[in-house]
Amino acid sequence: MSELFIGIDLGGTNIKIGCFDSQLTLLCKTSTPTEADTGPEPVIDKIAQTTEKLLADNNLSYESIEAVAMGSPGQFNFAEGIIISNPNMPLFKNLPLRKMLSDRFEKPAVLENDANAACWGEYTLGAGKGIKDMVFFTLGTGIGGGIITDGKLVHGFADSAAELGHVIIYPDGRLCSCGQKGCVEAYASANSTAKRAAEAIEAGASSSLKKVIEQNSQITSKDVYDHLAAGDDLAKQITDSTAKALAIICINVLHTTEPQRIVFAGGMIAAGDVLLERIKDYFNEYIWTLKKETVEIAFAKLGEDAGIIGAAALAKQLKD
């Protein structure tokens, strides 16, 4: 009977579940609405029931599960397996989530931050495979992060390490949702990229993006990059400042942990080389001249599966 490992990516809207063999080959996966407002116990029960159905539909044995792991947003006490708070799921507060997961599945369980789980997935099978030191960013609504040093995830003294989106790059700069001013998230997330463009247009800047706002009442970072490709000057200014902010944070993390590779993930990397190459340009412009740096800046490879892959890899560590 082959060993199975379950990787779970708990989101505020949807739950992704993947079943993997001992080689971390994805055998099958599914997703289901989270419905977090029903409470933690119903959500955990739904995860278990959905997993049972997924395995049955693919002729896999539930009894073959060796361990399960979950990546979840929020603040944690990892040693105790407790989720302290989650702004998008207010009922998930001071909750022994790891124990609940283990008790419901009757299997050993791991609880990890969702960005860390995705980071571990890229480290294990994706853009970080084969290296020991990596820094990981997710560029989405906000900016999440993960740090791997000497093959280990960095959690920090109070389990809040790698909040990379909230590194201040411009003191007294733009107000961030966290309450600080000048965070990289306030300049370079997908949402802030779109927001800065909209603010500029509202202030009178000329741009073809104005028609998008008139039609849709808003713009997205994809709109900004689409109009960059069409030659819009404002789109170029906005995307240049996004790349500059990301280059600055790359330099900061390089001088802090000296990773071999810095990996960007999330929806905004769909912009492609126009984003990646501009980050590298600014990095080379602003980095010190004391020595030539060899750090690689790259995009993630695993897409939306990074979270379930990373969770399954963490579950497999319990067996190893």
Query: What does the DSSP 8-state code read for residue 155?
Result: -
What is the model's pLDDT at position 1?
54
In this structure, the answer to whether residues 89 and 211 fall within a common structural domain is no
| Whether residue 249 sits in one domain with residue 161 | yes
Would you say residue 91 has pLDDT above 60?
A: yes
Residues 35, 165, single domain; the answer is no
C-alpha 178/C-alpha 195 separation (Å) is 16
Distant-in-sequence, close-in-space partners of 257: CB < 8 Å, separation ≥ 6: 133, 135, 147, 149, 154
| pLDDT value, residue 210 | 97
Quick check: 32 and 42 in contact, CB under 8 A?
Answer: no
Do 147 and 295 share a structural domain? yes
State pLDDT tens for residues 201-254: 999 999 999 999 999 999 999 999 999 999 999 999 999 999 999 999 999 999
Each residue's pLDDT tens digit, 280-313: 999 999 999 999 999 999 999 999 999 999 999 9
> Is the same domain home to 136 and 260?
yes
Whether residues 312 and 261 fall in one domain: no
179, two tokens: 């309450």
For residues 113 and 9, membership in a common domain is answered with yes
Q: Express each pLDDT in 96-125 by its tens digit.
A: 999 999 999 999 999 999 999 999 999 999
| pLDDT for residue 47 | 98
Q: Are residues 48 and 151 in the same domain?
A: no
Whole-number pLDDT of residue 39: 95
pLDDT tens readout for residues 117-148 = 999 999 999 999 999 999 999 999 999 999 99
DSSP class of residue 132 equals S
pLDDT bracket for residue 87 (50, 70, 90): confident
Q: How many domains does the chain have?
A: 2
pLDDT at res. 268: 96
| Backbone torsion region of residue 169, taken as left when φ is above 0, otherwise alpha when ψ lies between -120 and 50, otherwise beta | alpha
Same domain, 139 and 64: no
Model pTM score: 0.96
Q: Which domain holds residue 296?
A: 131-300
CATH number reported for the structural domain that contains residue 226 in this entry: 3.30.420.40
Instruction: Based on the fold, state whether residues 114 and 138 are members of the same structural domain.
Output: no
8 and 58, same structural domain? yes
Summary mean pLDDT of the chain: 96
Q: Are residues 21 and 84 in the same domain?
A: yes
* Confidence band of 86 (pLDDT split at 50, 70, 90): confident
Beta-carbon count within 10 A of 128 CB: 28
pLDDT confidence tier of residue 77, bands split at 50, 70 and 90:
very high
Q: Is residue 162 scored above 90 in pLDDT? A: yes
Quote the strand ranges of the chain, DSSP E: 4-10, 14-20, 26-33, 65-72, 75-77, 82-85, 109-113, 134-139, 143-149, 152-153, 261-265, 296-299
Coil, helix or strand at residue 15 = strand
**Predicted confidence (pLDDT) per residue in 13-63, tens digit:** 999 999 999 999 999 999 999 999 999 999 999 999 999 999 999 999 999
Residues 6+ away with beta carbon under 8 Å from 269: 139, 275, 276, 299, 300
The structure tokens 């989106």 sit at 165
